[in-house]
Amino acid sequence: MSELTTIDAQTAYGPVSGIVENGITRFLGIPYAAEMTAERRFAAPVRPEPWEEVLPAHTHGSTAPKPELAGRLGELMSDPDVVGDRPDEWLNLNVWTPSPGTQTQLPVMVWIHGGGFTTGSSAVPVYDGTTFARDGVVCVSINYRLGVYGFGRLEGAPDNRGLLDQLFALEWVRDNIQQFGGDPDNVTVCGESAGAMSVLALLSTGTSLFHKAIVQSGTAHLGQSPGDAALVMNDVAKRLNVPATVESLAGVEVAALIDAQNLTSADITKTASVAKYGASTIASCGMSFMPVIDGDLLREQPIKAISSGQGSHVPLLMGTTTEEFRLFVTTSFLAGWDTPILFKPRIKAYGAPDGSYDTYDVDGPVYPRKAAPGVASAVLTDRMFRIPTYRVAEARTDDENTFVYEFGWRSGVTPNNVGVELGACHSLDLPFAWDTLHLPESKAFTGPDAPQALADALHGTWVEFATTGGVNWQPYDEARRTVMCFAHDNTTADTAVEDPRSGERLWWKDALPRT
């Protein structure tokens, strides 16, 4: 075991101390904004009070309030709930670097975690930035406000507080990362799931705070209307027997507010409740909280802004897994549904074209579909992730700087009582991209035999893109539609394929608009 030492670095607010191990220094839990006291929880982030003594940044900072991951999903995925020395200091970040205290101008990667805008944090073990620092990239991961605190719409409070937190953290990176060996003019922002949706939302604002972007399992088609967002918050407040105002909710205990949020979120996932929460995509995606089209930070749905050219100069790497939605089917009661009639109403409620179930009811050589959960997973994978990814790529073809990939290796883990495997599901790619397959938390998801060669390939691609803005395959265009398929045949092979599963892509031709 290597001997651990410490080293100091200076930030704009005060000095911090990090831990050096095997040539990599990690600084954990650095505050980038002021503590979230009751009066600040629904306000825009502000600068923290400066400090003079060295602040130990040796352990993860407090995580933002969130519900516990329950059931089979909680058994599969680690989501630590951290209460640090400063419990209200939710807005903190981590830095891993091979060159602290120098100005070596290394590329920088800023990670925005996923979790449906209600769960997740930078403390998830899989997100160990040591691997990126080992490969010459300064890695930063951030916490931001979630659920009601980050995305609940309230009169008198700014909308999209979680996105404002992300932008505030990116400002911290711009102003401080040189002290950690990073180049503030070579910043790649990246995220998965809600983190990827956040990246696309930020891209659509035209911000200059990052220079490249990686989007894994994201969509630019989300964005709730102010009216629908208010319906959600009114439901949360009703469960607490208080008005839906900043003053009332600021006085509610955090745990009680999260409990009420959880009940509303569970109601939104019910097919029969779709109409109750309005006509925006909040109903058709089953998510309770997400960015709001507020007319300020987000003036329109991100896909529309991107189609108009916002962020077109930013090189973009986008990926999906082949069977994204299997995660949500196999870890819920849906895994036991065995007839089409059970899934067809849900597919329709989520916005798939009529006839989608029957169109997808075919078996493939690797990705089994004939069972009802597999067919529904395939339809909803395309509805929620693959087709929205293509729509963003199609909107940016004139710039020749958008690259698309698909991750197809299948996990044999069966988190249910009916033998339905995870397959190439949502989030399975993360321990590969982060090169953290060795962790117990990763093995619970991948099983014991995940191929390291595939991690080398995907992780290496992210490092190459963060460093240069390029990859080893052609940009996406509407003539060839090149997609790099990592392990498309369930091996460690990676092959550039032109227009994979074109028939299913064409099925969505008139759905999910490009603008």
Instruction: For the full predicted model, state whether its pTM sits above 0.95.
Output: yes
Confidence of residue 364 (pLDDT cuts 50, 70, 90): low
Is 502 an annotated catalytic residue?
A: no
Q: Give pairs for 473-476: CB < 8 Å, separation 24+.
A: 473/403, 473/405, 475/397, 475/400, 475/401, 475/402, 475/403, 476/393, 476/394, 476/396, 476/397, 476/402, 476/403, 476/404
> How far is residue 243's CA from residue 233's CA, in Å, rounded to a whole number?
10
Per residue in 197-233, pLDDT (tens digit) is: 999 999 999 999 999 999 999 999 989 999 999 999 9
* 258 and 334 together in one domain: no
* 275 and 326 together in one domain: no
Nearest CA among 153, 120, 126 for reference residue 139: 126
Q: How high is the pLDDT of residue 367?
A: 73
- pLDDT for residue 71 is more than 90: no
For 343, the token pair is 């899934």
Q: Which of 53-57, 103-107, 273-277, 341-345 has the lowest mean pLDDT?
A: 273-277
- pLDDT for residue 366 is more than 60: no
* 324 and 267 together in one domain: no
* 371 and 443 together in one domain: yes
Q: How high is the pLDDT of residue 31?
A: 98
Which residue in the list 78, 121, 193, 225 is annotated as catalytic? 193
> What integer is the mean pLDDT of 473-489?
91
* 422 belongs to a structural domain: yes
- pLDDT for residue 110 is more than 60: yes
Q: How high is the pLDDT of residue 417?
A: 85
Is 193 an annotated catalytic residue?
A: yes
- pLDDT for residue 265 is more than 70: yes
Per residue in 182-204, pLDDT (tens digit) is: 999 999 999 999 999 999 999 99
Per residue in 284-305, pLDDT (tens digit) is: 788 899 999 999 999 999 999 9
* 374 and 320 together in one domain: yes
Number of domains comprising the chain: 2
- Burial of residue 444, with CB atoms counted within 10 A of its CB: 0-12 exposed, 13-18 middle, 19 or more buried: middle
* 253 and 364 together in one domain: no
User: What letter would DSSP give residue 416?
Assistant: S
Q: What are the CA-CA distances from residue 429 to residues 131, 323, 455 (Å)?
A: 15, 11, 9
* 120 belongs to a structural domain: no
User: What residues contact residue 230 under an 8 Å CB cut-off, 6+ apart?
Assistant: 153, 244
Which residue in the list 60, 113, 426, 488 is annotated as catalytic? 426
* 155 belongs to a structural domain: no
* 327 and 276 together in one domain: no
Phi, psi values for residue 167, rounded to 5°: -65, -35
Confidence of residue 272 (pLDDT cuts 50, 70, 90): confident
Which residue has better confidence, 487 or 394?
A: 394
> What integer is the mean pLDDT of 433-454?
95
> How far is residue 376's CA from residue 366's CA, in Å, rounded to a whole number?
16
Which residue in the list 324, 406, 421, 504 is annotated as catalytic? 324
Tell me the CATH number at 347.
3.40.50.1820
Q: How high is the pLDDT of residue 488?
A: 64
Domain that residue 468 falls in:
315-507
* 270 and 371 together in one domain: no
Confidence of residue 491 (pLDDT cuts 50, 70, 90): low
* 242 and 324 together in one domain: no
- pLDDT for residue 1 is more than 60: no
Per residue in 236-264, pLDDT (tens digit) is: 999 999 999 999 999 999 999 999 999 99
- Burial of residue 336, with CB atoms counted within 10 A of its CB: 0-12 exposed, 13-18 middle, 19 or more buried: middle
